[in-house]
Chain A
Amino acid sequence: MEIKGLFLSLNKGNRLSDVLYSTVKKMIITSSFPLGYKIDESNLAEELDVSSTSIKEALKLLEFDGYVSFDSRIGYCVAEINIEDIIMLNDMLKILTIAAAENVNIYDRPSLIMIDESLKRTGTETNFQMDKKFHLTLSLATKNEEYINAMRNVYDKLEWGFSAFKFHDLGDKILDEHKIISYYLTKHDDIYRDNMPAIINRHGECHMKFILQENVSWNK
């Protein structure tokens, strides 16, 4: 990914430090800046034609979010993420999904329609993007800002991990399970609601199986 183009596409009336934050974060989670990569503030400032103070501000925020680490001798580097992190993030994803599913108001038809719509492929999205869209829509349907932000953060980190370890795209089976979850949500019936955690747990294990499989093939 080319940073200047990305920066210009994001730079539309938002605060400069926010734009820089999103730009560098995107470079990291797509592994355009690989793990351990030294981020040269002055080079970056020159390339994007901004002050190095604003770059530093963005890097401070990224450090807080765990995307970069700071060492007084080396400066800012892309932080490390490993397979244990991906597994922990996957657990967080499961927790947030269970919470979102139980907090969706089943009488809120627009939200349920929105969830159903998110199952449909609109263009050339990868399975990972489809997965992200479904889980994010589910959390959006709760209208709880905390779930929404947490889900976003988890997916950003997962995307980072998947790209850093060059994982393949998710399998279709995972997407099929989304249909079951969405179907269960629309049923105004306690039996379906009671079974929801079990369904999502199974779904989480399906995610986990994928991660472990990919990890084995990556180690080879």
Chain B
Amino acid sequence: MEQIVQIYKNNLKKMSISFAVYETLSQAIIMNMLKSNSRIKEEEFAKLLNVSRTPVRESLNVLMKRGLIVSDIKSGYVVKGFSTNEANDIIRYVKVLRREAAGITAKKITDEQIIILEKNVLTEERINVLKSCGKKDEIYSTFQDFNLLVAKYTNNKYLLEESKRMHEKLLLIHYYYPENIKDDHPADLFALESQEVFKAISEHDSAKAREAVEECDVHILNVTRHVYNLRKDYV
């Protein structure tokens, strides 16, 4: 809770109260300070951040729209948890977004953009560096950054917004199924995918870029499914 107040104070330096409240709540969820299935009480947060209830309620409404929290008649607002079905739906949709973005970007990308994209490819060296300084979690976020950059270069803002929104949800899923991100984290598969996709995009080969996502993702799907099934068995 202390951490959340600190985030709020930092946000307040940059933005208006209502926007800072919103940013704080969304950061707290995305950074897993407010865990899945935990309750969020309007009054409690208003008191904690020393603001009126209106900006808190407005923020909660928007977060609900973003699919990060759900309203529950009994307990008010709850941070979203995911059934295996929901998780699979999201993973499937993210794959489609990634695949199509890679296909479009391969056709449109400029030489300057290729140079920037290359710097964001998840290479083995990069993974080793991240692992050796204990930043295993960053492997995944590096992979996400690469994907969002590919989405950005489609020049389609709707596709980019949708990708961002879905990547947030994917993060929540990873928190919800922690085995996935901690131990069975398929770093090599992420690396393989980003390298293959980059190669195809830099050759302006749209079909190959789509295929690369499709092929590598099959493995990721298998890994995640396997993890979900394990979890289902022992819960």
Contacts and interface: CB of A to CB of B under 8 A. Distances in A.
B156 A91 contact: yes
Interface string B203-235: 000000000000000000000000000000000
A57 B57 contact: yes
B46 to A, nearest CB: 15
A53 B57 CA distance: 11
Interface string B56-76: 011001100110000000000
A95, A98, A144 pick with most chain B CB within 10 angstroms: A95
B157 interface: yes
Interface stretch (A58-66, A107-115, A128-136, A169-177): A58-66
Interface stretch (A32-40, A145-153, A212-220): A145-153
B124 interface: no
Interface in B89-141: 89-90, 92-93, 96-97, 100, 104
Contacts of A98: 96, 100
Contacts of A147: 89, 93
B100 to A, nearest CB: 4
Contact of B58 (A60, A99, A144): A60
Given A17-B61, A57-B61, A144 B92 contact: yes
Given A53-B54, A95-B159, A61 B93 contact: no
Nearest to B88: A144
Size bracket, chain A contacts:
20 to 34
A144 B93 CA distance: 9
B198 to A, nearest CB: 21
Given A89-B158, A146-B166, A64 B93 contact: no
A127 interface: no
B100 A95 contact: yes
Nearest to A53: B54
Nearest to A144: B89
A92 interface: yes
Given A144-B89, A145-B86, A92 B162 contact: yes
Contacts of A103: 92
A99 B96 contact: yes
A88 interface: yes
A61 B62 contact: yes
Nearest to B161: A66
A145 B104 CA distance: 25
Contacts of B166: 146
A206 B37 CA distance: 45
Contacts of B156: 88, 91-92
B162 A61 contact: no
A203 to B, nearest CB: 15
Interface in A48-103: 53, 56-57, 60-61, 64-65, 85, 88-89, 91-92, 95-96, 98-99, 103
Given A61-B62, A98-B96, 18 more contacts: A56-B58, A57-B58, A57-B61, A60-B62, A85-B158, A88-B156, A88-B158, A88-B159, A89-B158, A92-B156, A95-B100, A99-B100, A103-B92, A144-B89, A145-B86, A146-B166, A150-B93, A154-B158
11 contacts: A57-B61, A60-B62, A61-B62, A61-B65, A89-B158, A95-B97, A146-B89, A146-B92, A146-B93, A147-B93, A150-B93
